[in-house]
Amino acid sequence: FRVGHDNFCLIHVSLVPVVGAVGEPKTKPTQASVRDLRGLGLSPDILACRSAQPFEDGIREKLSMFCQVAPHQIFSVHDCESLYHIPVLLRQQGILDVLTKRLQLGQLDIPSEIAHEGEQLWAQWREFARRHTRSLDRATIAVVGKYTDLADSYASVVKALEHAALNVNRKIQINWVEASDLEEATMHKDPLKYHEAWQRMCASDGILVPGGFGERGVEGMILAAKWAREHKLPYLGICLGMQVAVIEFARNMCGMANAFSAEFDKDCEMPAVVFMPEIDPTTMGGTMRLGSRPTKFQDTEFARACMIKQLYGGKDEVHERHRHRYEVNPKIVDDLESKGLHFVGRDAETGERMEILELADHPYFVAAQYHPEYITRPLSPSPPFLGLLLAASKQLDAYLAGQDLVTEAETKLKM
């Protein structure tokens, strides 16, 4: 190999299915896949065997014999309490020793401060995994969306909520609310579904409106944003969730009764959300504003002290990933801000595209045009999601004041 033998380690992940009434593990699939791998000129250094249960006696030795991999280099990756326990499971089986020998990591001179940082990171990961299995207090978030029948549509949002919740010592409970069920039309068509949807949302500790396309359910999202604003309920809007928050505020606080989005009504009298001017509205393919782009916090009295900037660590500029065609109409921004809806973050390229909003005199009402859930990490939760969970669990003020959120017996996670 061009990188050198000691700089390359091949880990082959294979399935060891457990079949039959007696639950007998079968090694033939792994044997066959290793044979095919060697036919391509690759020999695995480590076998990571997925299975529903831990290895029985003799399975590791059998795999070693037929796959020609040393027994101590074969690892059982069986079902655990959570995905976050897999690194703990592998370490218990000695994977660090195998990697250290295979890659000759023992010959490296690692500075003590980096070694200490690694130990702290491992302690935080173990604490994170431990919290997932503990009986923690629950924080309930209503996700008001368009595709709630298929929860996988919001897989990134779910993970972002989970990461943020465990970092603030809470278990997340998601109340899925179909946006269209909140609308008046549903009250006449199916009163039971209508009242159940409102009950789930009203019983939640916070509301999240994620992104989406198309007009269906938009009025229900607007009602959710109104409920959160009027009842001081923590709110996070993402992409479309930001746009509906702007439409709701324009209608009910700025006297723009006909405010709507040009995405859903091209001829609306008061477009609060418009097509981005640099994009051809007649061509749909490849016209989205995509990728990581900088957002600059504004140099205003409100923006300098706003909650979302503090959650981002006081940074003047943040980079987040985008995926949209429409944006807040810059012509109505002054009217919105005069009533308390502040656009604290704008794009760093032109300064005219609204990226982050925060409502004054509210426990937590934040929305972003970008998708912060795309870059969430277990030990580094997305700041907007972190703020939502902190507010929903009544810990936001303490966190912003610099107070610890854990007891002395727990490991503090890096946030």
- State the average pLDDT for the chain: 92
For residues 322-349, average pLDDT:
93
On the question of pLDDT at 342 being above 70, the answer is yes
Average pLDDT over residues 329-335: 94
Catalytic positions are: 239, 371, 373
What does the pLDDT look like over 303-327, one tens digit per residue? 999 999 999 999 999 999 999 888 9
- Can you give the chain as a three-state secondary structure string? CCCCHHHCCCEEEEECCEECCCCEECCHHHHHHHHHHHHCCCCCCEEEEEECCCCCCCHHHHHHHHHCCCHHHEEEEECCCCHHHHHHHHHHCCHHHHHHHHCCHHHCCCCHHHHHHHHHHHHHHHHHHHHHHCCCCEEEEEEEECCCCCHHHHHHHHHHHHHHHHHCCCEEEEEEEEHHHHCHHHHHHCHHHHHHHHHHHHCCCEEEECCCCCCCCHHHHHHHHHHHHHCCCCEEEECHHHHHHHHHHHHHHCCCCCEEECCCCCCCCEEEEEECCCCCCCCCCCCCEEEEEEEEECCCHHHHHCHHHHHCCCCCEEEEEEEECEEECHHHHHHHHHCCEEEEEEECCCCCCEEEEEECCCCCEEEECCCHHHHCECCECCHHHHHHHHHHCCCHHHHHCCCCCCCCCCCCCCC
Q: How confident is the model at residue 17 (pLDDT cuts 50, 70, 90)?
A: very high
Please check the confidence at residue 406 and state whether its pLDDT lies above 90.
no
Q: Is the pLDDT of residue 409 over 50?
A: no
- The pLDDT assigned to 411 comes to 63
With cut-offs at 50, 70 and 90, classify the pLDDT of residue 408: very low
Proportion of the chain above pLDDT 70, given as a percent: 95
pLDDT at 2: 77
Structure confidence by residue, pLDDT tens digits, 180-204? 999 999 999 999 999 999 999 999 9
Q: What is the pLDDT of residue 276?
A: 83
Report pLDDT for 24.
84
Asked if the model's pLDDT at residue 415 lies above 60, the reply is: no
Q: What is the pLDDT of residues 45-80, one digit of tens each?
A: 999 999 999 988 899 999 999 999 999 999 999 999
Instruction: Grade residue 404 by pLDDT with cuts at 50, 70 and 90.
Output: confident
Residue 279 has pLDDT above 70, yes or no: no
**Candidate from 181-195, 260-274, 299-313, 357-371 with smallest mean pLDDT:** 260-274
pLDDT higher than threshold 60 for residue 252: yes
User: Among 38-52, 226-240, 265-279, 297-311, where is mean pLDDT lowest?
Assistant: 265-279
Highest-scoring range by mean pLDDT, 234-243, 286-295, 401-410:
234-243
